[in-house]
Amino acid sequence: MITHGYLRDHRPDLKQFLLSMITSGDGDVPLYLQVGDGNQADKAVFAQIIKDFKAQWDVEALFVVDSALYSAQNLSELAGMHWLTRVPSTLSAVKHVLAALKEEQFAPAQSGYRVVEVGSTYGQVVQRWVVVESDERRKSDLAALEKILGESDAKTNKELAKLCKVEFAC
């Protein structure tokens, strides 16, 4: 179970293990702990951990889980259970939803945020996605885009200046 394997900090001399924990809603009380192979991917074990927990604790619960849970297989395994996670933005369905949203669809939420609810089906599971837009994140994204455009503009102007110095025989 505890073995050598791939480490993000490039220390192959160290052994690794995975500690999976389920806590109470406030995060203060550990309710379930499982030690696993450190080479296992989170998404490969999340659904099984939740099912093992439910087998020991027969409680109605909302499982708030890392986005690694979000795979078609995991969602089908958790049928009938309540869960909440962030949908990975790498999914093409997310990209399509975000591209299709219009500014006027968003409703104001708490200060600095806007939200819109979107229905979706993924892994044959009907879902409700809540898209949250932050003023701060939007400003940050626009500043990054302006920087990229500025760099591109400077590069283009530099290339244009070079071309203007060349005599063409037309």
Range of the domain at 16: 1-86
Is residue 26 a part of any domain in this protein?
yes
158 in a structural domain:
no
Residues pairing with 133 in the sheet:
114
Burial of 50 (0-12, 13-18, 19+ CB in 10 A): buried
Which amino acid, 94? V
* Sole residue written with tokens 């399509």: 96
- State the Cα–Cα distance between residues 168 and 123, nearest whole angstrom: 60
Query: What pLDDT is recorded for position 101?
Result: 94
Q: Residue 27 falls within a domain, yes or no?
A: yes
The reply to whether 32 falls in a domain is yes
Task: Kindly state whether residue 127 falls inside one of the protein's structural domains.
Answer: no
State both tokens at 141.
């994204």
Question: Which residues, listed in sequence order, are joined to residue 34 by a DSSP beta bridge?
Answer: 20
Residue 109 lies in a domain: no
Q: Tell me, what's the pLDDT at 37?
A: 76
Q: What is the pTM of this model?
A: 0.71
Contact 25, 12 (CB under 8 A): no
- Residue 113 domain-assigned (yes or no): no
pLDDT at 11: 77
Q: Which stretches in the chain have pLDDT values below 50?
A: none
Domain count, the chain: 1
Is 33 part of a structural domain of the chain? yes
